[in-house]
């Protein structure tokens, strides 16, 4: 079976190569962006200066199957990870994405970017756009409106796991960086480490085997190892990105060096010195390290936890002038056993500036747990319905349903059959259930919808109830940054119910950090514990709030936060329509 898929992909890829005509549909230039800047450049990587016009930065992504390191993978322009994008604040990023993955749909999500005013560029199929069918293209264009360390990836967890991800760094003039006094160099091209996972087989192609698929390797910039060069006595900003989409937290440290954490998820924090940092899936951490030890070579070590326990990766941290060939045969320090208590996690950090206080806050309870559900084979729908090929696999089929599925408020998310953002009135109302009132809905799956008004502050209470599982879950918020007010785990290791949570809250036993909560795009919810976040929806859009670490072995676990925003007809008309391309002839020859 494995072999078959492999050949199929290779053959399909070759036959596709000769078909320029496949590029049958390319959206018109985005009307919002015409004439905003005059200059344009293919590579926007440059020192960022004050009072200079932003640029339009063009990139072209061809996404398709490759053989990487003797193993089938999905790649962008033949590379996994894909190209690293470097732009300056306020630049416009334009990426022409072409899908060359036979028999699969595609869309790319720009993780951590706000998409203020461009919610239809967020990259979620059937929510913010029609998915990109095999052979067709989609032109993403949006502004880099905030500086920091970001990344992009296929919205589909399985395609991301197969290799469709890469780093995206938004720089700004050095004096604007709040912590620039702490380091001498910020060489984001050489000093960004994006961590991925290697799986024993292609995940997006093997719908019937993934039940308990686990990574068998951790990768640094797509390899087993990497090298970082530094000049003795200078200090450097390093950027770490955990681009893994299964429950695989990573502990990262450099032997004999302390690091100073300066940012998480692209947002500055109060600096804190530590031996190691822990990154949950989707999290980013910027740290500063000073090359103040003996002129030598050291190991930057990455240790996996969760489903990646036992896995590790390493990079050389080399002082210039040191002959590192001697290091190559040298085993890294086996003492890399850092106590969990001396590891800094993103949710422990404090935001650099005080956050504005909110007056009126609407609380929303989201009870998360693994439940045993009576699913009839024909009942469950873990994919969206595409016109192109009915019931195309988007999330891999969850064949391990007999072990239970992770749910929010007792439901799994159901994708609509028209993009919710673009055509909300065409979404069939019987698919929709209101968050908090899910019980009114009979089916195990519904489009869990939370509607809010602009500037109506939402407090999301994420309780990982823990009656059905001992797993930690990592959630990602599209569109908005979250203030993370509290993270708690039951010291007694007992499941936590809604009634118990509400009792604790009523008795004033829950400490919310309202002054300096870290501001993040991804949060971890500890098992038998909770995480409380707040968002202020300052602008409209349809934004997923989704578990990024549950989807491989479960039905979709998500809610849709909708802040109504009518999209001008001229924009809707300029975007590709669903099923604007039919691949039948492509698949047959
Ligand atoms: C570096 O070390 C290796 C062995 O450790 C040696 O063979 C090589 O000649 C050295 N290179 C230089 C430039 O000194
Ligand atoms: C969770 O952990 C406890 C204690 O280690 C164990 O008894 C229980 O079976 C575990 N539950 C699940 C669902 O794995």
Distances, alpha carbon 198 to alpha carbons 161, 163, 440, in Å: 8, 9, 42
What would the two tokens of residue 47 be? 């020192």
* CA 245 / ligand 2 centre spacing (Å): 24
Q: Pick the closest to residue 521 from 111, 26, 224, 40 (CA basis).
A: 111
Q: Which atom of ligand 2 is nearest to the CA of 370?
A: 13
What pLDDT does residue 249 have? 96
Cα 323 to ligand 1 centre (Å): 6
For residue range 31-48, list pLDDT tens digits in order: 334 333 444 445 799 999
CA distance 275 to 213: 32
Per-residue model confidence (pLDDT) at position 24:
25
Q: Which domains does the chain have, with CATH numbers?
A: 22-172 (2.60.40.420), 179-350 (2.60.40.420), 361-588 (2.60.40.420)
pLDDT tens for each residue of 211-264: 567 899 999 999 988 999 999 999 999 999 999 999 999 999 999 999 999 999
Cβ < 6 A, ligand 2 pocket: 469-470
The closest residue, in CA terms, to atom 13 on ligand 2 is: 469
Q: Give the pLDDT confidence score for residue 357 in this predicted structure.
A: 83
Mean pLDDT of 361-372: 95
Nearest residue (by CA) to ligand 1, atom 14, is: 323
Could you say which ligand is closest to the alpha carbon of residue 330?
1
pTM of the model: 0.89
The pLDDT value recorded for residue 476 is 98
Which ligand is the nearest neighbour of the Cα of 329?
A: 1
Q: What is the CA radius of gyration of the chain?
A: 23
Q: Whose CA is nearest to atom 5 of ligand 1?
A: 326
Q: Which residues contact 373 (CB under 8 A, 6 or more apart)?
A: 401, 404, 405, 407, 444
- CA gap 50, 22 in Å, rounded: 43
């Amino acid at each position: 079976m494995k072999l078959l898929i492999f050949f199929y992909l290779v053959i399909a890829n070759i036959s596709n190569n000769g078909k320029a005509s496949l590029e049958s549909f390319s959206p018109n230039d985005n009307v919002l962006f015409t004439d905003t800047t005059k200059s344009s450049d293919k590579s926007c990587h440059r020192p960022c200066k004050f009072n200079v016009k932003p640029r339009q930065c063009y990139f072209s992504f061809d996404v398709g199957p490759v053989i990487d390191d003797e193993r089938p993978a999905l790649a962008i322009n033949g590379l996994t990870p894909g190209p690293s994008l470097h732009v300056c604040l306020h630049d416009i990023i334009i990426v022409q994405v072409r899908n060359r993955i036979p028999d699969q749909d595609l869309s790319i999500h720009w993780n951590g970017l706000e998409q203020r005013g461009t919610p239809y560029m967020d990259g979620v199929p059937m929510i913010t756009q029609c998915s990109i069918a095999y052979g067709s293209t989609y032109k993403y264009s949006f502004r880099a409106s905030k500086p920091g360390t970001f990344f992009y990836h296929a919205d589909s967890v399985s395609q991301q796991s197969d290799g469709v991800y890469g780093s995206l760094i938004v720089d700004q003039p050095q004096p604007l960086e709040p912590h620039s006094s702490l380091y001498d160099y910020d060489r984001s091209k050489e000093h960004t480490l994006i961590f991925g996972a290697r799986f024993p087989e292609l995940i997006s192609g093997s719908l019937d085997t993934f039940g308990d698929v686990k990574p068998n390797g951790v990768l640094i910039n797509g390899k087993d190892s990497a090298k970082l060069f530094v000049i003795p006595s200078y200090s450097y900003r390093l950027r770490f990105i955990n681009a893994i989409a299964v429950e695989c937290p990573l502990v990262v440290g450099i032997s004999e060096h302390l690091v100073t954490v300066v940012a998480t998820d692209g947002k500055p924090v109060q600096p804190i010195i530590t031996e190691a940092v822990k990154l949950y899936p989707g999290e980013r951490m910027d740290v500063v390290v000073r090359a103040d030890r003996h002129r030598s070579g050291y190991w930057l070590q990455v240790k996996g936890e969760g489903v990646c326990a036992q896995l590790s990766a390493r990079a050389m941290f080399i002082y210039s002038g040191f002959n590192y060939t001697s290091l190559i045969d040298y085993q890294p320090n086996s003492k890399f056993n850092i106590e969990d208590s001396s590891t800094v996690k993103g949710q422990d950090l404090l935001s650099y500036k005080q956050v504005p206080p909110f007056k009126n806050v609407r609380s929303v309870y989201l009870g998360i747990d693994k439940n045993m559900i009576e699913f009839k084979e024909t009942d469950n729908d873990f994919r969206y319905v595409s016109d192109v090929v009915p019931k195309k696999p988007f999330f891999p089929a969850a064949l391990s349903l007999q072990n239970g599925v992770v749910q929010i408020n007792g439901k799994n998310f159901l994708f609509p059959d028209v993009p919710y953002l673009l055509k909300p009135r065409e979404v069939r109302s019987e698919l929709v259930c209101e968050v908090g009132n899910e019980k009114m809905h009979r089916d195990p799956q519904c489009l869990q919808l939370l509607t809010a008004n602009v500037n109506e502050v939402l407090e999301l209470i994420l309780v990982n109830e823990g009656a059905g599982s001992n797993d930690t879950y990592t959630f990602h918020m599209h569109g908005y940054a979250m203030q993370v007010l509290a993270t708690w785990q039951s010291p007694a290791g007992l499941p936590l119910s809604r009634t118990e949570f509400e009792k604790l809250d009523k008795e004033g036993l829950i400490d919310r950090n309202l002054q300096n909560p870290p501001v993040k795009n991804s949060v971890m919810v500890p098992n038998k514990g909770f995480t409380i976040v707040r968002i202020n929806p300052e602008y409209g859009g349809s934004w997923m709030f989704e578990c990024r670490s549950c989807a491989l072995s479960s039905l979709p676990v998500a809610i849709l936060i909708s802040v109504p925003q009518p999209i001008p007809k001229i924009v809707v008309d300029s975007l590709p329509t669903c099923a604007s391309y039919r691949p039948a002839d492509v698949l047959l020859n």
